[in-house]
Amino acid sequence: MSHDPNCIFCRIAAGEIPAQKVHEDDELIAFKDIRPAAPVHLLIIPREHIATLADAEPRHQALLGRMALLAPQLAREHGADNGLRTVINTGPDGGQEVYHLHMHVMGGPRPWKQG
Ligand code: 5GP
Ligand code: ZN
């Protein structure tokens, strides 16, 4: 499985950088966003280093499906039971800052910060 030693999310996945992890399994990790834009703001990442959604391949189909299914489950577990927002920023024009595929999971009572 590809691991980029210079990638902050690979380092979080490897336990080299601390994060408030809320889920771990053989393929996925989820942790709290360090700058939450909503009362609940989690990031779901694959353990494998995939830089962006545009770099995902057909073999990642089930992995992407698992990310989508995990989002409402984690939102509920964190008390966001009135809806949620999922976002995957992709590339420069998508506003992506960290180049390791991640799904934002945001929820909780509004108003939220701009994000
Ligand atoms: P992007 O703009 O790439 O979609 O979002 C990257 C997200 O990662 C941002 O919301 C940012 O707050 C979060 N983030 C960046 N570095 C870290 C970190 O070291 N730890 C955690 N927990 N979140 C981070
Ligand atoms: Zn990475």
Which residue lies with its CA nearest to atom 20 of ligand 1? 34
Is the CB–ligand 1 distance for residue 97 below 6 Å? Answer: yes
pTM of the model: 0.97
List of residues 6+ apart from 47 with CB closer than 8 A:
1, 13, 26, 27, 28, 29
**Residue 33 Cα to ligand 1 middle (Å):** 6
Distance separating alpha carbons of residues 62 and 6, to the nearest angstrom? 26
Eight-state DSSP code of residue 63: H
What is the band of 114 on the pLDDT scale with cuts at 50, 70, 90? low
CATH architecture of 8-107: 2-Layer Sandwich (3.30)
Q: Which residues surround ligand 2, an ion (CB under 5 A)?
A: 4, 7, 9-10, 49, 100
Q: Where is 77: in which H helix or E strand?
A: helix 61-77
pLDDT single digits (tens) 27-86: 999 999 999 999 999 999 999 999 999 999 999 999 999 999 999 999 999 999 999 999
Is residue 102 annotated as a catalytic residue, yes or no? Answer: yes
Grouping H, G, I as helix, E, B as strand and the rest as coil, residue 70 is helix
Q: Which strand (E) or helix (H) includes residue 45?
A: strand 40-46
